[in-house]
Amino acid sequence: MAYDDLRDWIKRLDKAGELKRIKVEVDPILEMAEIADRTAKLGKGTAKAGGPALLFENVKGYPGARVLMNQFGSLDRMKLALETDSLDAIAERIRVLIKPVMPVGMLDKLKMLPMLAEIGSFFPKVISSRDAACKQVIKRADRGDVIDLLSFPVLKTWPQDGGRFITLPCVVTRDPKSGKRNVGMYRMQVYDGQTTGMHWQRQKVAAEHMRERLRAAAGDVAAGVDLMALTAGGTAAAVSTGSIPSVAQAKIRGERMEVAVAIGTDPATTFSAIVPAPPDVEEYLIAGFLRQKPVELVKCETVDLEVPAHAEIILEGYVELGELRTEGPFGDHTGFYTMQDEYPVFHITCITHRKDPVWAATLVGKPPMEDAWMGKAVERIFLPLMQLTMPEIVDVNLPAEGVFHNLMIVAIRKSYAGQARKVMSGIWAMGQAMFTKCVIVVDEDCDVQDVAEVTLRVANNIDPERDIQFTLGPVDSLDHASRLPNYGSKMGIDATRKWAAEGFTREWPPMLTMDKEVKSKIDAIWKKLGIE
């Protein structure tokens, strides 16, 4: 059965022996992060890598508060979170949905009805406020209630961070054109009890929602406004008041976009906030698919949005169009600090929460970290969507040390000359994969999950001048090495066997492999040899 909420998930972690309760007093300023960092690196390189989930029950300065960290921090816990024995099994469910067997007769059509009914059961449903656990405590600014985000144990994770950051939020916005909701995960620097930064990078869906609002507000003068810079970090100079026509300033001043933030949701909903969802598919629907049960939502108090009804904490509010504030630095998943930049400001109008809420947080930094396992789950589960566009792809690997956007290894079923380069171009044209700095393409008989095998293939199979391709395009905002913010070069390496049709006229040697019969015979007597 699907987890009802974060507390149900914590109970399951405890029962499975995957939870460590920390009774010693620990400070949310740096100390929790250091403990989480050491825990995440336990068993590095082994099948049991990642250490346990951590529930801090004695938080310095916050009597009675609890903080959950590293909840997704191992392969076993990632599978437990999504209630599966295999991440590839979820991928297979997706594969069946996107490529069903087409019915040829009435009987086949009838056979499809259960599948269609199952899909219909994944859609989220709105429940009443009285049944929503997140409404147990309600504080509204318009009623004179005290709004104080700092009453929660918000973490500071690295010494040079610009302040405390909310690191595991589900940020809800609505497309002003289609009305479709989006749930994304964007870090939030806490400025004070009522305001935070909203670090949605310019390529993120929420930033596009804000640009749509800006276009509508600015009207016919929108062409004179640097909308990209006004919605997500460009340089401060790019968003200076002088660069925006005064008539546009007047039109957007005071215009707002509503935002809601859920902290501490069930694991499938939290995970869905990071997945590369197809543009027309809501994350709430993806969460329902993953948990095999619809997500229950509730309407917010002060904004026109729906949020997970059983979340621990809900923040409601708005960003004011055109208002930016310096955000950062922040110790990021690249292992380096993301430096200061200008981002929108989130103003809190209401906080609702459960009694004695659990604060959910994560730590990012030098891999491997908790997010490495979340990234691996995304890699396995959404492989069918890549294969839908490029069916020659056999498998992909996003190594943790490549921090998701720096390295992708792809195995392909090669059937024509230049196919490896075609795949590189396809990856760079595919959603968030466009940020991939380095793409390595190997043949289908190479296990891309075995980095040692990939290294052997690359080192042996390439002529560097011939097989390395460079191109220019958008890069991740966190890439500190690119020539310009958000724009730089990418590299593709074709490590496949070269064909005569590709200009290779020499004989390509076979790789070393032992005879199958010999291998089977030795397999049968291996234990008797006493070698290990």
Report the C-alpha gap between 300 and 262 in whole angstroms. Answer: 11
Of 262, 302, 9, 25, nearest to 138 by C-alpha is: 302
Nearest CA among 259, 161, 245 for reference residue 230: 245
Show the tokens assigned to 73: 């921090």
Give the Cα separation of 195 and 447 in Å (integer).
48
Q: 396 - beta bridge partners? A: 410
Task: Name beta bridge partners: 428.
Answer: none
Burial class (CB in 10 A: 0-12, 13-18, 19+), 431: middle
User: For residue 159, how many C-alpha atoms fall within 13 Å in the half-sphere facing its CB?
Assistant: 0
Which CA distances in Å does 348 have to 143, 210, 313, 410? 13, 17, 13, 44
What are the tokens at 494?
């074709």
Tallying the residues shown for the chain, one arrives at: 532
In order of 160, 263, 285, 440, the CA distances from 273 in angstroms are: 27, 11, 11, 28
- Written in H, E and C, the secondary structure of 362-391 is CCCCCCCCHHHHHHHHHHHHCHHHHHHHCC
Residue 452 CA, chain-centre distance (Å), reads 27
Rounded distance between C-alpha atoms, residue 59 and residue 267, angstroms? 23
Rounded CA gap, 249 and 255, in Å? Answer: 10
The active-site residue, picked from 37, 266, 332, 479, is 332
Tell me if the bond preceding 276 is cis, omega within 30° of 0.
no
Paired residues of 353 in beta bridges: 137, 313
Q: Which residues pair with 307 in a beta bridge?
A: 298
The DSSP symbol for 158 reads: S
- What is the token pair recorded at 61? 């300065």
The answer to whether residue 332 is catalytic is yes
Whether residue 71 contacts residue 373, with contact meaning beta carbons closer than 8 Å, is answered with: no
Count the alpha carbons within 13 Å of 111 in the hemisphere toward its beta carbon: 9
Q: Which residues are catalytic?
A: 332
